[in-house]
Amino acid sequence: MFKDEQHIWNILFTALFLALAALAYCMLLLVGRMPTHLPLFDAVLIVLATFRLTRLFLHDVIMQWLRDLFLDVQVLEDGTLMRREPSQGPRKTVSTLLGCPWCFALWAGFVTSFVYFLTPHAWFFIFVLAVAGIATLVQLLANLLGWSAEHKKITTERL
């Protein structure tokens, strides 16, 4: 049926996501926390918190240990680490997920939104993540401006 065993693992993880989403939906209905509207400010906070969680898990050094659990890591003779994605299996699916911002953001957005709707106590943590997300965006913008200025300086010096 499937020419590649990896498709089966990807389908299983997709089914897991859909099952968790259905369970979360039922749970929110059961506890009476299903939203009828969402203030724009809170929606922006959820988006920024999702952005920051995605950056945290996919790019930040502090979470490299987690990404390494799903990679084949080898220490070379010179002491450097070589990281490779596994060729197949569930580790490959998770490794791919932890390497794809679009894929992981779906999971992060699901978790952030669910926790936001489940309890008002989550608002503080979502706010902190959103502030960190804004700080990350400001840092990325500052880096972009610095790189642009450096490029213009080098280009001008060559003239």
pLDDT tens per residue, range 90-108: 999 999 999 999 999 999 9
- pTM (2 decimals)? 0.85
What pLDDT is stored for residue 94 in this prediction?
Answer: 96
Q: Which domain holds residue 81?
A: 5-158
Which segments of the chain have a pLDDT < 70?
Answer: 1-3
Angle at 41 between CA 37 and CA 46, to 5 degrees: 85
Q: Are 93 and 10 a contacting pair, CB within 8 Å?
A: yes
Q: How far is CA 6 from the centre of its chain?
A: 22
What pLDDT is stored for residue 68 in this prediction?
Answer: 95
Q: What is the CA radius of gyration of the chain?
A: 20
Q: What is the number of domains present in the chain?
A: 1
- Kindly give, in sequence order, each residue whose CB lies less than 8 Å from that of residue 81, ignoring residues fewer than 6 positions away: 73, 74, 75
Task: Give the start-end residues of each E strand in the chain.
Answer: 72-75, 81-84
Q: Are 68 and 58 a contacting pair, CB within 8 Å?
A: no
